[in-house]
């Protein structure tokens, strides 16, 4: 893990300035997939990411792993709380790959991030947010904060709900990856390393066009789509695709 993290930091500092945006995305995807293999996390996916950009991905939030799982299937930019940027090593890494940080304690910072996110989407990027605003143990979905969806309305793009479910290889729900409540990052990391293996199911719902839509309505529909997936129980339908070994 130490070597892999150091290699990732070196890549973002020395290689990223020399390669195209497509080259950077390919390296982020490869690095994230390798991270999941090191941690023995298999990713299974039902559905696919639509081609092109101007897409805002919204998902329920369970773990810090969620970011790397999404980057392993299709590199994207994230909107995250500014505290993450101050984490040793990992903070520098996620900052170097284009994460947009918001200072929650500053009242007017949300407007700045909304504008930056809108511009990133309009330029063809895929951006991901976790509208619950915090993490859970994965057994429930908290109400979505609609303010985080305003950028895709302004950019006239599409919203893509994705549901996360973590479980073991026998199909039993697992909270080993959960990074919620008073759990520290080190405790969460140790919990993941203590598992022989984990499986994360990603279920991609239908994209929701955001042009001329109200963000409150989009938030309600996206939350409902993800809640419906979680209410079905564990395991993917047979149409799933295993991504963890690619």
Q: For 121-140, how does the pLDDT look when each residue is reduced to its tens digit (9 = 90+)?
A: 999 999 999 999 899 999 88
CB 59 within 8 A of CB 161: yes
CB 51 within 8 A of CB 124: no
Q: Of 38, 14, 40, nearest to 27 (Cα)?
A: 14
The per-residue pLDDT for 85 is 76
Q: In this structure, what CATH number is given to the domain that contains residue 194?
A: 3.40.1130
d(CA 106, CA 155): 24
DSSP notation for 11-63: IIIIIGGGS-HHHHHHHHHHHHHHHHHHTTEEEEEES-PPSSS-EEEEE----
* 229: Cα separation from own chain's centroid: 17
d(CA 99, CA 79): 6
Two structure tokens written together for 73: 């299937």
The per-residue pLDDT for 52 is 85
Q: For 156-206, how does the pLDDT look when each residue is reduced to its tens digit (9 = 90+)?
A: 999 999 999 999 888 889 999 999 888 888 899 999 999 989 999 999 999
Radius of gyration of the chain (CA): 17
The per-residue pLDDT for 244 is 41
State the total domains in the chain.
1
The per-residue pLDDT for 185 is 86
**Domain span including residue 25:** 2-242
In which residue ranges of the chain is pLDDT below 70?
105, 107, 233-246
d(CA 110, CA 173): 35
Task: Report residue 209: phi and psi, to 5°.
Answer: -60, 135
CB 115 within 8 A of CB 40: no
């Amino acid at each position: 893990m130490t070597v892999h993290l150091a290699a990732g930091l070196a890549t973002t500092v020395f290689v990223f300035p020399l390669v195209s945006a497509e080259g950077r995305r390919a390296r982020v995807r490869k690095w994230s997939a390798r991270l999941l293999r090191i941690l023995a996390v298999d990713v299974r996916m039902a559905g696919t990411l639509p081609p092109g950009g101007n897409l805002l991905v919204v998902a329920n939030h369970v773990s810090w792993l969620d970011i790397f799982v999404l980057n392993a299937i299709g590199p994207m930019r994230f909107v995250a709380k500014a505290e993450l940027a101050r984490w040793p090593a990992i903070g520098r890494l996620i900052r170097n790959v284009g994460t947009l940080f918001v200072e929650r304690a500053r009242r007017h910072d949300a407007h700045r991030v909304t504008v930056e996110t809108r511009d990133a989407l309009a330029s063809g990027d895929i951006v991901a947010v976790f509208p619950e605003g915090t993490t859970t143990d994965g057994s429930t979905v908290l109400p979505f904060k609609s303010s985080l969806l305003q950028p895709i309305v302004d950019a006239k793009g599409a919203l893509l709900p994705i549901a996360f479910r973590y479980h073991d290889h026998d199909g039993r729900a697992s909270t080993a990856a959960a990074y919620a409540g008073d759990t520290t990052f080190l405790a969460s990391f140790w919990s993941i390393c203590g598992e022989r293996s984990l499986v994360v199911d990603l279920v991609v719902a239908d994209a929701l066009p955001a042009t001329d839509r109200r963000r409150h309505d989009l938030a309600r529909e996206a939350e409902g789509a993800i809640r419906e997936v979680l209410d079905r129980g564990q395991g993917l339908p047979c149409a799933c695709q295993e991504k963890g070994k690619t």
